[in-house]
Amino acid sequence: MRVLIVGGGGREHALAWKVAQSSRVSEVHVAPGNAGTATEPKVKNVAIAADDVGSLLMHAQENLIDLTIVGPEAPLVLGIVDQFTAAGLRCFGPTAKAARLEGSKAYAKAFFARHHLPTAAYRTFTQDNFDAQWVHNQRLPMVVKADGLAAGKGVVIADTHAQVIEASLAMFTGQFGAAGKEIVIEEFLLGEEASFIAMVDGTHVLPLATSQDHKRLATGDAGPNTGGMGAYSPAPVVTPLIHERIMNEVMLPTVRALAAEGTPYTGFLYAGVMIDANGTPNVLEFNCRFGDPETQPVLIRLQSDLTLLVEAALEGRLDEVQAQWDSRSAVGVVLAAGGYPTSAQLGQRIHGLDAAATQPGKVFHAGTVHRDGQTLTHGGRVLCATALGNTVSDARLAAYALVNLIAFEGMQFRTDIGHLAVAREQRLSTP
């Protein structure tokens, strides 16, 4: 079969790499892909932007694509699944209506409230009804979020009331374009975060391996929020008991509620949860897609054929399949461009990729491009060095061994990916 992967980041490189390993798959097209997908066996890039849904549909029809898997949120929110399905093509992801869970934080918060999902207390505002007095009466820190899509950057954790007001006004006046016309202000939650990502077929939920992302730019969880600077899988904070709570208190009620509201959900469904001291999994957000960079360490551990799981989901049979996982842990370290997340420096030559390719693990590409025989940086997050190990500590050593071979001007990365899991492992190994 021929598979189309929509997107061009690290997540899509991992998806294309994984799908191409299936003996059922003859060809994988990636739109638009990157320098990494361009060199994978059986994989070719197609020069169509991920949000150009009309051209993607034409490409899929002309090239007899059997199955499309959508990476990023933008085409989902634009209705790629609705359009492909109307044309009789199989496309894995939620419809535009179901994708609103990620596309609008105000919609999502109202959904959580309606269905009594555990989440932070909140209010929504527009510039017209903004209430500075209310802000001054709230406990700090507070969290300010742009309503719409802002590539993971539309969230400000404010330590003073003045910062809340400043961040709100910046959003109202166009810092994130139309995405900030409405904002959500919510209570700051304590706890440890985890990414809980599942495949959903409208009714059934097949949880994938757990993972944890590192949203802040710098080592020690310092600096601004980013799209994610590294991830590992599994996340030991999700104990079997917490896994069960997330399924029963978050995932299953959400999938049931979406179906009951007439917007049944098919696709990857990603709950960002903050697990508090009582083990309550408070929902921070839902994403209507696989995580980036969580996909890289999760898929490197997946032993099952992803195309079979996706087909089962499209046919409403997820209750009949199981996903097999490598029992080892995986760590992925993101190498970002200088200036990321504000203004990434593009066009820098990347050194060391050939040497890294001879080592265990896999360097997934994100913002890269081939030009005149060289691989250049072409986005904020450039690469994700991903490796397996018997423990998170071992996987981390192997991932940083890859990182140490790679260099480009301005390269930024965190030196502590997996630190919470490593600290847990160290506590367990010291009597």
CB closer to ligand AMP, 83 vs 119: 119
Q: Which stretch binds ligand AMP (CB under 6 A): 94-102, 158-166, 186-194, 262-270?
A: 186-194
Quote the least distance from Cβ 153 to ligand AMP, whole Å.
9
CB closer to ligand AMP, 215 vs 365: 215
CB closer to ligand AMP, 109 vs 362: 109
Residue ranges of the alpha helices (H) in 280-336? 295-299, 306-314
Instruction: Read off φ and ψ for residue 411, nearest 5 degrees.
Output: -55, 130
Query: Does 30 contact ligand AMP by CB under 6 A?
Result: no
The one of ligand GLY, ligand AMP, none whose footprint includes residue 284, by CB under 5 to 8 A per kind, is: ligand AMP
Query: Does 109 contact ligand AMP by CB under 6 A?
Result: no
**Could you tell me the two tokens for 189?**
């939650």
Quick one: which of 152, 236, 338, 410 contacts ligand GLY (CB under 6 A)?
A: 152
Q: Three-state SS across 126-178? A: ECCCCCHHHHHCCCCCEEEEECCCCCCCCEEEECCHHHHHHHHHHHHCCCCHH
**Could you tell me the two tokens for 361?**
């693990």
- Measured in residues, the chain has a length of 431
Angle at 268 between CA 266 and CA 271, to 5 degrees: 115
Longest dimension (CA), the chain: 63
Query: Does 186 contact ligand AMP by CB under 6 A?
Result: yes
Quick one: which of 147, 182, 292, 311 contacts ligand GLY (CB under 6 A)?
A: 292
Q: Which residue is nearest to ligand GLY (CB)?
A: 228
- Residue the block writes with tokens 């995580």: 291
What's the rounded Cα separation, in Å, for the pair 403 and 22?
A: 28
The one of ligand AMP, ligand GLY, none whose footprint includes residue 305, by CB under 5 to 8 A per kind, is: none
Q: Which stretch binds ligand AMP (CB under 6 A): 38-46, 162-170, 184-192, 308-316?
A: 184-192
Quote the least distance from Cβ 232 to ligand AMP, whole Å.
15
The secondary structure element, H or E, covering residue 183 is: strand 182-187
Query: Does 287 contact ligand GLY by CB under 6 A?
Result: yes
Q: Which stretch binds ligand AMP (CB under 6 A): 44-52, 73-81, 84-92, 181-189?
A: 181-189
Quick one: which of 228, 341, 367, 389 contacts ligand GLY (CB under 6 A)?
A: 228
Query: Does 143 contact ligand AMP by CB under 6 A?
Result: yes
What's the rounded Cα separation, in Å, for the pair 77 and 282?
A: 24
**Integer CA distances (angstroms), 308 to 24, 100, 116, 312, 314, in order:** 9, 27, 34, 6, 10
What's the rounded Cα separation, in Å, for the pair 239 and 275?
A: 11
Query: Does 188 contact ligand AMP by CB under 6 A?
Result: yes
Q: Which amino acid is at 176?
A: F
Which residues from 271-330 bind ligand AMP, rule CB under 6 A? 272, 284-285
Query: Does 102 contact ligand GLY by CB under 6 A?
Result: no
Q: Which residues bind ligand AMP (CB under 6 A)?
A: 120, 143, 145, 152, 155, 186-189, 193, 215, 225, 272, 284-285
